[in-house]
Amino acid sequence: MQSTLRLGAIAVLLAASAAHAQTSASAVRTEKNMSLALANQIAAEAVAACATNGYNVAATVVDRAGTVRAVQRADNAGPHTLASSERKAWTSASAKSPTQAMMEGAQKNPGAANLVYLPGFLLLGGGVPVKSGNEVIGAVGVGGAPGGHLDEQCANAALEKVKGLL
């Protein structure tokens, strides 16, 4: 009888241990993120895409948490381009959406217009999410072309160049 009770107790402990292990495993997440090499390549490609059109810009790439991974600034790009590219990238990574679409949405929807009051958000075109499959792993922001839609074109051109690496 005692050995049966011991075996029962051991079985209960093993079952509890297995349940705890499953709970612990689901508490840990695995996320994709971009390497420094990829971030630098995206920034360089964005600056090069704009330079082809005669625009001196800065490009900032952030990871999924909005932390800056790479920055490139073209010769003759204005000092303001650094801050605008970083804020566009951060906004895009945070919202997982292109900033041009967010800006247009805020202009058309009074409720969304309040997004401009969120600290750090910059609703100007030029911020584009970086995706690996359907997962947003960061964003690129471009600032300095004569219009946010042109900044966005440069960001998209950079992502097109590296799509095989994503």
**pLDDT tens digit at each of 166 positions of the chain:** 555 545 555 555 556 555 555 555 688 988 899 999 999 999 999 999 999 999 999 999 999 999 999 999 999 999 999 999 999 999 999 999 999 999 999 999 988 888 888 999 999 999 999 999 999 999 999 999 999 999 999 999 999 999 999 9
56 and 3 in a common domain? no
**CATH at 151:** 3.30.450.150
Residues 98 and 71 in one domain: yes
Same domain, residue pair 45 and 26? no
How far is the C-alpha of 35 from the C-alpha of 159, rounded, in Å?
15
Of 61, 94, 48, 88, residue with least CA distance to 166: 61
Q: Are residues 76 and 102 in the same domain?
A: yes
Secondary structure (3-state) at 142: strand
Distance between CA atoms of 131 and 33, rounded to whole angstroms?
Answer: 10
Question: Which pTM does this prediction carry?
Answer: 0.83
Domain that holds residue 22: 1-30
Strand partners, 131: 136
Query: What is the count of structural domains for the chain?
Result: 2
The reply to whether 23 and 59 lie within a common domain is: no
Tell me if 100 sits within 8 A of 126, measured CB to CB: yes
Say if residue 4 is in the same domain as residue 77. Answer: no
Query: CA separation (Å) from 64 to 24, 33, 39, 94?
Result: 24, 7, 12, 8
